[in-house]
Amino acid sequence: MEKRNYKKAVVVPLYNEKENIIPLCQALLNVGRDFVIILAVSSSPDGTQKLADSLAWENERLIVVHPQKRDLDKTYSEGFKKALELGAEWIVTMDGDFSHNPQDIPRLFRKGKENDLVVGSRYTTGGKTVRWSWKRKIMSRGACILNRLILGIKLKDSTSGFRCYSRALAEHLISRPFVTQGFAFQVEAVARAERGDWKTCEIPITFRKREKGHSKVNSEDIKRYLVGIFRLRQKL
């Protein structure tokens, strides 16, 4: 069934989120009625994909895309393409595990009207993390410091996935292949926005440790992230 045009879209990458997808979709639908929700579901052995398709059949504001590869850059690119196809002028991205509070979405959209990239930041004044281990905090902070030193990024939270992109910036980002893969996509998007003089800003958010399911980050992801950052420096 073809969906009507929406000026706003929320893109949620999902992989093995069977425990979270139903309550998350309900929470997103309850936030407001002026945006469409694009579930970018990679092939998930736990049945997430089947659940997503079923939910989308029942509600026209839910749309499912199936990226061919699980890499985050490919997943977001597919989500962006669908959002742009549906007429979105502003696109919010967020995690699918309730680490990001759906109630913050309207704040991102409002700020997005004045900026090309709005980052929901854990590290700007007023931002924070809840129930994180000291190891996780060090890794996250360290990554943002590394991004600043190597790439000259100005935003304090360059790895946050809770963001709002303008249509123009989203089109610009997917107009050429990404240098990085996986989680480094977040950093590349910030670096390209800042290098291109797009208007960027941060707003404070509270990031919470997931309560259900398991983190998808592993040692191989971290290795690819580090390799990607140094490759990006050479390409920018």
Q: What is the pLDDT of residues 178-220, one digit of tens each?
A: 999 888 999 999 999 999 989 999 999 999 998 777 776 777 8
Residue 2 in this model has a pLDDT that exceeds 60: no
In the predicted model, what is the mean pLDDT of residues 70-93? 93
Domain boundaries, the chain: 8-235
Of the listed ranges 21-25, 42-46, 93-97, the least confidently predicted one is 42-46
Distance CA 132, CA 62 (A): 31
Distance CA 192, CA 22 (A): 34
What is the dihedral sign for C-alpha 24, 29, 35, 41? positive
**pTM reported for the whole predicted model:** 0.94
Residue 5 in this model has a pLDDT that exceeds 90: no
The candidate with the shortest Cα–Cα distance to 178, out of 118, 236, 120, is 236
- DSSP 8-state symbol, 145: H
As its CATH architecture, domain 8-235 has Alpha-Beta Complex (3.90)
Q: What does the mean pLDDT of the chain come to?
A: 93
